[in-house]
């Protein structure tokens, strides 16, 4: 991954960049694309009070992937991985695994002990399921017809290593 750069600080231009990246995957509805951009806007406006954290991966100055994650309110050390997105031309090259490992390291540094990710149960998402399972997540729950008839929610969970104390 030549010329790659990770950053955690959002810039106003990231609203459009995240919107374009999420749209380019072809996996997300127009409403989901809007939600991804809105989370960037909210974080830019409210900063840490938003509860969202971002890890953005750029290659040659272009956003090619990102994660959005945050502690689940009312829990102790449980985090949601709200978004992990990699540009279609960069998929299958280890960008997603690398972003996920970096995100897990940051969650661990925040005393995170569990990381959850949710996705659709539709056949289109089989590669997503394999990605999570290959990264050490296990299926924790399946909610039939959650998003729409025939489109359930699959919740994955991963226990993170805890520092020796």
**What is d(CA 60, CA 4) in angstroms, rounded to the nearest whole number?**
7
Q: Which pLDDT value is given to residue 3?
A: 84
Q: Which pLDDT value is given to residue 55?
A: 98
Backbone angles phi, psi at 47, to 5 degrees: 55, -135
Q: Which pLDDT value is given to residue 164?
A: 63
Are the C-beta atoms of 38 and 52 separated by less than 8 Å?
no
Q: Which pLDDT value is given to residue 163?
A: 67
Please, what are the domains in the chain? 4-159 (3.40.630.30)
Q: Compute and round to an integer the Cα radius of gyration of the chain.
A: 15
Q: Which pLDDT value is given to residue 162?
A: 77
Q: Which pLDDT value is given to residue 23?
A: 97
Q: Which pLDDT value is given to residue 1?
A: 46
CA 51 from centre of chain:
14
Binned average pLDDT, 10 residues per bin, the chain of 165 residues: 84 97 93 97 96 96 96 96 96 93 96 96 94 97 96 97 71
């Amino acid at each position: 991954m030549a010329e790659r750069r990770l950053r955690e600080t959002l810039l106003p231009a990231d609203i459009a960049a995240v919107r374009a990246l999420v749209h380019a995957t072809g996996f997300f509805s127009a409403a989901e694309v809007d939600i991804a951009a809105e989370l960037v806007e909210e974080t830019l406006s409210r900063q840490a009070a938003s509860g969202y954290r971002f890890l953005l991966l750029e290659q040659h100055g272009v956003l090619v992937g990102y994660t959005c994650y945050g502690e689940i309110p009312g829990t102790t050390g449980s985090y949601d991985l709200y978004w992990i997105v990699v540009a279609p031309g960069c998929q299958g090259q280890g960008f997603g695994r690398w972003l996920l490992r970096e995100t897990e390291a940051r969650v661990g540094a925040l005393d995170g002990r569990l990381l959850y990710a949710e996705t659709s149960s539709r056949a289109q998402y089989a590669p997503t399921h394999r990605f999570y399972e290959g990264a050490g997540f296990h299926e924790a729950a399946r909610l039939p017809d959650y998003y729409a008839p025939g489109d359930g929610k699959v919740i994955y969970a991963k226990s993170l290593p805890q520092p020796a104390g």
